[in-house]
Amino acid sequence: AQTVTQSQPEMSVQEAETVTLSCTYDTSESDYYLFWYKQPPSRQMILVIRQEAYKQQNATENRFSVNFQKAAKSFSLKISDSQLGDAAMYFCAYRSAIWETSGSRLTFGEGTQLTVNP
C-alpha cells in the first residue's frame, strides 16, 4: 500500500517570502500522479498543482512550483511571494496510474498548516 508523509505539521512564512512544504511517499509503482491540495478555513479542498511521475519536468502554476525527486520519492511544494490568502492547510496526495491497483483512490498525507505573517 502507498503511504504519504508530511513531516511538518506547521510552517510559517512572512508575506512576500518563499516557503517550501515537504512531502515524501512510498510506493513500488513506477507510474503515478502526485498532487498538492489546499484547504482554507472554508474547508473546501482546492487543487493547487499536480505532477505525473513519468514527467521529468517539475510542474509550475504561477507562484506555486514543485520539486519532484522520483528516486528519492520526494515531492515538495514551493510557494513564492507568499500572500495572506495562501494561509491554509496543505495536503500532499498520491494516486496510482494503474486502475486495477487503486482506481481513483487518493492517498493523502497528514497535512501542513501554513501561516502567513503580514
Partner 1 sequence: DAGVIQSPRHEVTEMGQEVTLRCKPISGHDYLFWYRQTMMRGLELLIYFNNNVPIDDSGMPEDRFSAKMPNASFSTLKIQPSEPRDSAVYFCASSLGTGYYEKLFFGSGTQLSVL
49 is an interface residue for partner 1 by CB under 8 A: no
E-strand ranges in 6-98 read 10-14, 19-21, 24-26, 32-39, 46-52, 60-61, 64-69, 74-79, 88-96
Distance CA 91, CA 112 (A): 7
Query: Minimum CB separation from partner 1 for residue 29, in Å?
Result: 14
Residue 96 grid coordinates = 496510482
The residue within the footprint of partner 1, chosen from 28, 72, 99, 100 (CB under 8 A), is 99
101 is an interface residue for partner 1 by CB under 8 A: no
52 is an interface residue for partner 1 by CB under 8 A: yes
Given the rule CB under 8 A, which residues bind partner 1?
Answer: 33, 42-47, 50, 52, 91, 97, 99, 103-106, 108-111
